[in-house]
């Protein structure tokens, strides 16, 4: 998919194109820029050649947890998002659980990291509103498969640090015990 042409062409069943058009510009992390959109197809900016996953360090994987916090934190608890973006599926969740914009398949394979360390979150076709704890848990398991020395506790701590310190979101750490 990341060849030598100026743009990346992707099939679009609707949700991914809407995400890049309407929500990506509001995120606090990098995503590929939407160049154009037509029925069934989107054209995204070409990103630099990615660093292979086997070259990622534990610090790279922890920065992925921080990026996930930026994704979740931007739309944390905003029920208005569901009302404004009716195309965005909403998971059925108990009221006691936090709700946030979720990527839907967040893992090291959907973090595009250039050789200089610049990162983008890619492949938003499964985005939805849901429980950020579920997505954080899935990321922690995937990250541990890439680098077993990365602990779940370190991933959760990196995630919570961003929510608290950068985004001023008060969360009970016990809610995020995975």
Q: What is the DSSP string of 81-95?
A: HHHH-TTS-B----T
The rounded distance, in Å, linking the Cα atoms of 106 and 141 is: 11
pTM: 0.90
Residue 4 has pLDDT above 80, yes or no: no
pLDDT, tens digit, 9 for 90 and up, residues 76-110: 987 778 888 899 998 877 677 788 999 999 999 99
Res 30: pLDDT: 96
Residue 114 backbone phi and psi in degrees, to 5: -75, 165
53-176 has CATH 1.10.510.10 classification = yes
pLDDT in tens, 35-48: 999 999 999 999 99
Residue 148 in tokens = 């077993």
Q: What's the pLDDT at 81?
A: 83
Cβ atoms of 90 and 129 closer than 8 Å: yes
Residue 3 pLDDT class (50, 70, 90 cuts): very low
List CB contacts of 133: < 8 A, sequence separation 6 or more.
97, 98, 175, 176, 178
Contact 106, 130 (CB under 8 A): no
- Ranked by mean pLDDT, the top range of 10-14, 60-64, 97-101, 167-171 is 60-64
Instruction: Pull the structure tokens for residue 107.
Output: 């893992």
Confidence label for 11 from pLDDT (cuts 50, 70 and 90): confident
- Show the CA angle centred on residue 54, arms to residues 67 and 112, nearest 5°: 35
């Amino acid at each position: 998919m990341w060849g030598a042409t100026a743009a990346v062409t992707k099939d679009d069943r609707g949700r991914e194109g809407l995400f890049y058009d309407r929500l990506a510009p509001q995120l606090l992390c990098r995503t590929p820029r939407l160049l154009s959109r037509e029925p069934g197809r989107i054209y995204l900016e070409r990103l630099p050649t990615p660093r292979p996953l086997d070259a990622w360090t534990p610090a790279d994987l922890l920065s992925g947890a921080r990026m996930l916090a930026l994704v979740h934190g931007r739309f944390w608890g905003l029920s208005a998002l569901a009302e404004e973006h009716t195309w965005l599926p909403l998971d059925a969740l108990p009221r006691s659980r936090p709700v946030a914009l979720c990527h839907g398949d967040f893992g090291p394979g959907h973090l595009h990291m250039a050789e200089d360390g610049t990162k983008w979150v890619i492949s938003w076709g499964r985005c939805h509103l849901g429980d950020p704890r579920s997505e954080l848990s899935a990321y922690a398991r995937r990250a541990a498969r890439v680098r077993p020395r990365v602990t779940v506790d370190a991933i959760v701590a990196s995630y919570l640090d961003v929510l608290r310190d950068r985004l001023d979101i008060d969360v009970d750490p016990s809610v995020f015990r995975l």
